[in-house]
Amino acid sequence: MQKSTAIGRIETAVCGPWVQRHPEPITGVPLLPRCRLAQQLPRSPGMPHDLPSFTDLHSHLVPDVDDGARSVEESLASLAALRSEGVGALVTTPHLLVPRLTSEAAIDRELAVHREAFDELADAVGQRSDLPALGLGQEIWAPDAATLLRVLDRPGAGLAGTRWLLVEFGFELQGTHEDVVRAAVAAGRGIIIAHPERYSYLPGIEPLEQMRRWRGLGALLQVNAGSFTGHYRNHTAGSERLAWEMVAHGLVDLVATDHHGARRTGVSPLEAFGALAARGERSLAERVMAGAPSEMMREAVFELGRAGVRSPGGAG
Ligand SMILES: [Fe+2]
């Protein structure tokens, strides 16, 4: 059950209700022309000043609900590591394996399990000053439109209270899955397709062309940070090549970590940023790792650690 009754809200003329539940309601947070939460947070010590503050929309750091972080402690360590690499805001997205949830009640129960574990993590995050702002979402496994429609209207479905849905089709694609995109768009939701560079496409389907079709229908494409540095080459051999081809063809809308906690190390937003910059794609990296996701989360609900309360925009 959500703890929303304990929430203190930040109401401003230009921002959505960013939320902090733990200490007193936030006052004195300066109003910015565009509210970019990540940019209001202090930089981590040692972070280069010319780097943008990243907003990460895909990770598995809700403790012990999926194949990601196993404990609050593991989640906190992963969050601290990401903060040290420049992640200022993060929506963590436990797997919502809808095809395995055989009833509507089972979906509700699973979302409640996510929320309860997230709340426990958020309690701990609220006591720290060295962590990203934290929101809750899901990575929704929806191989067809009917599956997506089972979760679309549920309270809490989406990224941190926004219209955006992070959706995966399963690594072995069974078709074009374009009906999923159409269903989301028809419902007025934004859809982000998770790591299309990691899918196995059916024979006869050219991956880049399929990606163009998804985008043409209104989807955004999210590449995993680790794909640029070959992190998944043992699992999906072509993922690194395809990620760079997506860059070359202008098909990257977002880059996120898909961080799974300590059990799967090797995904580094800073290394991805550096790899893109080294190939002359720094402005793209800034857009897909900072500008675009930050803008998409303008209306999001985040937990703010103490850093976000006491010194927004401070500490250089
Ligand atoms: Fe994921």
pLDDT tens digits for 159-201?
999 999 999 999 999 999 999 999 999 999 999 999 999 999 9
Q: Is there a contact between 261 and 93 (Cβ–Cβ < 8 Å)?
A: no
Residue 253 one-letter amino acid = D
pLDDT, residue 235, reads 85
Residues of the domain holding 134: 18-24+34-41+52-310
- Number of structural domains (the chain) is 1
Does residue 165 fall inside a structural domain?
yes
Alpha carbon of 6 to ligand 1 centroid (Å): 30
Does residue 178 fall inside a structural domain?
yes
Looking at the predicted structure, is the pLDDT value of residue 312 above 60? no
**What is the C-alpha separation between 55 and 255, in angstroms, rounded?**
9
pLDDT classification of 302: cutoffs 50, 70, 90: confident
Assign residue 109 the CATH number of its domain: 3.20.20.140
- pLDDT tens digit sequence for 139-159: 999 999 999 999 999 989 999
pLDDT, residue 12, reads 27
Q: State the maximum Cα–Cα separation within the chain, in Å, rounded to a whole number.
A: 57
Alpha carbon of 83 to ligand 1 centroid (Å): 19
Looking at the predicted structure, is the pLDDT value of residue 20 above 90? no
Alpha carbon of 215 to ligand 1 centroid (Å): 20
Alpha carbon of 34 to ligand 1 centroid (Å): 29
Looking at the predicted structure, is the pLDDT value of residue 126 above 80? yes
Alpha carbon of 195 to ligand 1 centroid (Å): 8
Higher pLDDT, 23 or 308: 308
> Alpha-carbon dihedral of residues 58, 252, 84, 265, nearest 10 degrees?
60
pLDDT classification of 133: cutoffs 50, 70, 90: very high
Does residue 7 fall inside a structural domain?
no
Does residue 141 fall inside a structural domain?
yes
Alpha carbon of 114 to ligand 1 centroid (Å): 15
Does residue 8 fall inside a structural domain?
no
pLDDT, residue 49, reads 66
Alpha carbon of 13 to ligand 1 centroid (Å): 34
DSSP state, residue 10: E
Alpha carbon of 68 to ligand 1 centroid (Å): 9
Alpha carbon of 218 to ligand 1 centroid (Å): 21
pLDDT classification of 26: cutoffs 50, 70, 90: very low
Does residue 276 fall inside a structural domain?
yes
What Å distances lie between residue 290 and 71, 180, 201, 224, CA to CA? 28, 27, 29, 14
For 86-111, what is the mean pLDDT? 96
Alpha carbon of 89 to ligand 1 centroid (Å): 17
Looking at the predicted structure, is the pLDDT value of residue 17 above 50? no
Alpha carbon of 59 to ligand 1 centroid (Å): 6
Higher pLDDT, 9 or 131: 131
DSSP H helices, the chain, are 37-40, 72-84, 104-125, 145-149, 178-186, 207-216, 239-248, 269-278, 282-286, 292-296, 306-310
